[in-house]
């Protein structure tokens, strides 16, 4: 009899035994306390009659309480956020940064619904934009499949200001995101036994057009392209190409594109090098008004590429001159960004990095050189303990007359920017049952 019982016990599937002992429900609570200070000396768009904003210093803060729940085939997350400037009137802003639930099947199918952070590929087109204190999240329904090297996501977003529709029309303005409707498909494939991954992205974005209660309608623009990453041994090679078509919110026809390439070499865990080039198309016949004047020009076709909802701070220079603030009249002469740099880790937890950017417009300008300037960036970060990180940086840019005319920024060598951040991210609760 003992032999029979022992044989039956050994014959039980190991996964059933694991389910007996596994803690099915997992609940966590995390907090983030981020303090960020900046000192600016030049480099901000300015009005020639009012030079305020050229110099400033301030402290920013972000506090997050993140609750997570996880069990087999079900996940949920709630992230409450406060962000603001120290001493700000109104005490900053409090909002729900994330609130979503995800239901999955054993076959790899899943559904995720609610306010969520989206991050795809290198985050050039869609990313959390975490450098900004408020970050970026989206109210979307995400449907997808992940398995066997394949990932396929479909996103649906539909935004309104309130549940009631005024005057029988649907009008969306000043919402948490700029688009009214977003339909997106993303496919990624990792090649077996080869360090190669590739993605395809298609977006159909609906922007609010017309006037409220009069001729409110939706203008549609499309963005599509691909991203590829190859990582043989010590090297990483990345490239992307995207195009934009359709119409903007004013009904203007869009024909724009961008391309990028980046090479990274990491010969050891101590140091590494990188170099790359970005090209974003610009509007032809870009008009630069004289100081104190207004530039007026009619663009039959909009050719300035818009990297929509990406983490812009990661690209195009750390001083954020481009694709964070707008150019004169909202048009753009595009951008060429040639850069190289490297990093070194002399001590455990300490990382030092430096990079150089040559910045120029993509289109020719009347009576001006394409060169915008040369930017040098230095950064250091030190992990004091596993959940406390201190980082600081300094950027210097020598601007040209072109930069001064485009951005209303001084070109006298005073374009300097320094920052320091203390990021504390402890897990304060963790339990399973």
- Please write the tens of the pLDDT for every residue from 191-224: 999 999 999 999 999 999 988 878 889 999 999 9
Contacting residues for 194 by C-beta, under 8 A, at least 6 apart: none
pLDDT at 323: 84
Average pLDDT over residues 9-29: 60
pLDDT average, residue stretch 337-349: 97
Query: With contact defined as beta carbons under 8 Å apart, do 427 and 28 qualify?
Result: yes
Residues 320-347 have a mean pLDDT of 85
> What is the model's pLDDT at position 406?
77
Mean pLDDT of the chain: 87
Among 157, 121, 154, smallest CA distance to 137 is for 157
For 5, the 3-state DSSP assignment is helix
Is residue 14 over pLDDT 80?
Answer: no
- pTM for the predicted model, two decimal places: 0.89
Beta pairing partners, 9 = none
The per-type count for the chain, helices as H runs and strands as E runs, is 3, 21
Q: Is 83 in contact with 36 (CB distance < 8 Å)?
A: no
Which one-letter DSSP state was computed for residue 324? S
pLDDT over 60 at 295, yes or no? no
For the stretch 100-128, pLDDT in tens is 999 999 999 999 999 999 999 999 999 99
Separation between Cα atoms, residue 406 and residue 44, nearest integer Å: 11
Q: pLDDT by residue (tens digit) across 40-86? A: 886 555 454 445 456 789 999 999 999 999 999 999 999 999 999 99
Contacts of 199 (CB under 8 A, 6+ apart): 120, 121, 186, 187, 188, 189, 226, 227, 228
φ, ψ of residue 169 in degrees (nearest 5): -125, 160
For position 414, what pLDDT does the model report? 64
More confident position, 42 or 130:
130
CATH number for region 24-432:
2.40.160.100
């Amino acid at each position: 009899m003992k032999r029979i019982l022992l044989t039956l016990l050994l014959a039980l599937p190991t996964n059933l035994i694991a389910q007996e002992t596994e803690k099915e429900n997992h609940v966590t609570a995390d907090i983030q306390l981020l303090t960020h200070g900046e000192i600016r000396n030049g480099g901000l768009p300015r009005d020639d009659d009012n030079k305020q904003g050229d110099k400033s210093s301030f402290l920013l803060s972000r506090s997050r309480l993140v609750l997570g729940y996880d069990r087999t085939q079900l996940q949920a997350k709630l992230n409450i956020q406060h962000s603001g400037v120290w001493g700000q009137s109104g005490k900053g802003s409090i909002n729900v940064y994330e609130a979503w639930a995800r239901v999955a099947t054993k076959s790899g199918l899943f559904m995720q619904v609610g306010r969520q952070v989206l991050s795809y590929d290198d985050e050039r087109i869609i990313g959390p934009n975490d450098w900004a204190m408020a970050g970026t999240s989206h109210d979307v329904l995400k449907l997808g499949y992940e398995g066997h090297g394949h990932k396929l996501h479909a996103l649906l977003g539909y935004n309104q200001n309130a549940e009631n529709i005024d005057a029988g029309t649907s009008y969306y303005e000043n919402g948490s995101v700029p688009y009214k409707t977003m339909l997106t498909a993303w496919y990624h494939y990792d090649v077996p036994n080869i360090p190669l991954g590739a993605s395809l992205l298609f977006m159909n974005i609906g922007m609010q057009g017309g006037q409220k209660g009069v001729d409110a309608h939706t203008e549609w623009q499309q963005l599509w392209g691909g991203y590829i990453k190859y990582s043989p041994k010590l090297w990483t090679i990345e490239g992307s190409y995207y195009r934009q078509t359709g119409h903007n919110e004013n009904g203007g026809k869009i024909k724009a594109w961008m391309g990028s390439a980046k090479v990274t070499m990491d010969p050891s865990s101590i140091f590494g090098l990188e170099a790359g080039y970005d090209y974003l198309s610009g509007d032809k016949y870009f008009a630069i008004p004289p100081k104190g004047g207004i530039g007026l020009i009619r663009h039959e076709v909009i050719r300035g590429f818009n990297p929509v909802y990406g983490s812009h701070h990661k690209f195009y220079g750390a001083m954020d001159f481009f694709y964070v603030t707008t150019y004169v009249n909202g048009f753009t002469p595009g951008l060429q960004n040639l850069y190289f740099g490297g990093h070194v880790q002399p001590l455990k937890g300490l990382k030092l990095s430096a990079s150089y950017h040559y910045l120029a417009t993509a289109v020719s300008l009347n009576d001006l050189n394409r060169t915008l300037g040369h930017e040098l960036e230095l950064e250091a970060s030190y992990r004091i303990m596993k959940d406390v990180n201190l980082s600081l940086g300094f950027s210097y840019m020598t601007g040209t007359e072109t930069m001064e005319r485009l951005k209303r920024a001084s070109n006298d060598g005073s374009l300097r920017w320094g920052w320091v951040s203390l990021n504390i991210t402890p897990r304060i609760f963790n339990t399973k049952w």
